[in-house]
Structure 1
């Protein structure tokens, strides 16, 4: 997993819960590098899971709640740091439909070794979008948080329904159905 994800998680914790909380979870997570991450480095995603679990233990919030919150934060940060990726999108559906074919292509240019989930989309109707998250990492909560962050970014009223699907081999799969509300 790219280090930018780790550095943004630590930024979220420090900003919302304080430096003492960040130090506490780094200590509890017992990380091999003592929490020293660079944005361009690549790290084991299990380390992020340990950080989130430690934050859950310390804050009383559930792991899914924290990962969802992080997804929203991450989307907001990406929208500020990578404005060019948003230039051709006027709606959440425009942006989300471009993730696999455009956004992830650009991410791979920046980070050639990035291991990204697949997120193919279908547009069954003009007011609906179906996304299928598939990844060897079980970060459906992160994907859901990123989707929520996208909807907030574009200021739309969209209902999201999540369906956790059975694993397919080593792949975790989640179906997201998004419907624009009247």
Structure 2
């Protein structure tokens, strides 16, 4: 997993819960990196799982809800860092339907070894999108948070339902209706 995911996560934890919480979740975890991350480094996903688990235990917030919050934070990082990429789209449905064939292609130019989920468009119209998400990491709530922020970015809103294709969350269908 790319280091930017870790550095931004720890920034969010510090902003929302304080530096003491950052220290607490790092010291509670067994991290090969010792909790020292660079944005361009690559780290084991198991480290993120430990950090999320310990944050959840210390805050009483579910991991899914933490991933939603983190995605909202991370979207603002994308807006600030890659405004040209977002500007190429005129509406949220077009942007979301191009995750696999455009956005992830651009991400791989910056981070060639990035391990990204896949998004397959099943059905698309002007106000409706069905996509299947596949990832061994089962971080679909992170994807959901990014989708919510995509609609906000375009001053819109949507109803987004999740249907687990696989119970472990490694395959999920997003059913999106733009309001």
The bucket for the TM-score relative to the shorter chain is over 0.9
Residue equivalent to 2:104: 104
Residue equivalent to 2:29: 29
Residue equivalent to 2:43: 43
Does the residue aligned with 1:131 lie in a helix, a strand or coil?
A: strand
Aligned 8 A contact 2:124 2:130 in 1:
yes
5+ residue gaps, structure 2, are none
Instruction: Say if 2:178 is the partner of 1:180.
Output: yes
For residue 122 of structure 1, report the CA deviation from its aligned partner.
4.0
Does the residue aligned with 1:29 lie in a helix, a strand or coil?
A: coil
Aligned 8 A contact 2:123 2:131 in 1:
no
5+ residue gaps, structure 1, are none
Q: Aligned residue pairs: how many?
A: 179
Aligned 8 A contact 1:72 1:147 in 2:
no
Does the residue aligned with 1:147 lie in a helix, a strand or coil?
A: helix
Does the residue aligned with 1:95 lie in a helix, a strand or coil?
A: helix
Residue equivalent to 2:63: 63
For residue 143 of structure 1, report the CA deviation from its aligned partner.
1.1
C-alpha offsets along residues 88-107 of structure 1, whole Å, 9 cap, x if unaligned? 11221121111111111111
Moved more, 117-126 or 23-32: 117-126
Aligned 8 A contact 2:33 2:43 in 1:
no
Aligned 8 A contact 2:148 2:157 in 1:
no
For residue 32 of structure 1, report the CA deviation from its aligned partner.
1.9
Residue equivalent to 2:141: 141
